Structure 1
Amino acid sequence: MTAASEVSGDGDLATVLRDLAWTVHRLVPDVAGLEPLPNSELAVVKEVLAEPGIAVTELGRRVGMLQSNTSAAVRALVRRGLVTRERCDTDRRVTRLMPTSKCLEARELIRSVWSGTVRDAMAHLEPEQVEAIANARTALRELDKVLRETT
């Protein structure tokens, strides 16, 4: 079986990866005891954590949201105390977004709970399955990088 046939076959790898990402995304906030964030807000938090100080315009482009939707998500996150807005020193028209300490603490909590949740689930797999997943780590990171660069 070729890589192309595996991606487009009945066991569509892209669909499996999407379903897995969705399952993990939905489980983590519940397990961590945090109020689940809507996908739009989660996307914004993820980008702000990845690049503190990101401009709102660039954020909207990266997450593929309309300006009005991006602004609404940012407002909600400001109300939740997860993000702050700061004016750019060199161009006062530009607003930059920064994660709050609450956001940074939540990130660490989610990461640790998520890792434990996935690790616990993997304990129910056959050793060969765990090894196959571990062997795919580099390729999955590269796929993530490509997807980030093309969106």
Structure 2
Amino acid sequence: MSAFVASGKTADFTLTNDDWFPDIDANIARERLRLDGAVTDTRLEAALVNAMLSVNQELAAYKAGHAAQHHALEDIPSSEIDGVSRLVILYNRAVTCIAGAELVERYRSYDTSADGDRNAEALTPSIDELRRDAWWAIRDLAGRARSTVELI
């Protein structure tokens, strides 16, 4: 095991979203994903932008159905936790989880040793869990059931 610990410098930054969905604070996302300086700001930004694009697309119909009455997601009446709209919390969770899954997928491929192969296998459930959590947050936000059942 190496005693080397990555301690790259990171800066606080916010990603501006469209006028309807909330902006994403990259520092909060970094803390929620427990990322250290090994994940550069550039890579975190790319993962968050990709996640924002994906979540915004998934919620396009939801936005279309509410945009005429509400100027932003946070304006839709909803319960709040610690002064933050439940819908905004779910949106942030979806974006953070999708970005986290992308980062884990990308970073696990850098170590190709035998230990790296074992670690990659161990990370696969984490990736699946992050994607599941994102999907659940999107479905909860949109008011849809978490599972889809179809008769064959």
Q: TM-score, normalised by structure 1?
A: 0.31
- Structure with higher helix content: 1
What TM-score, normalized to structure 2?
Answer: 0.31
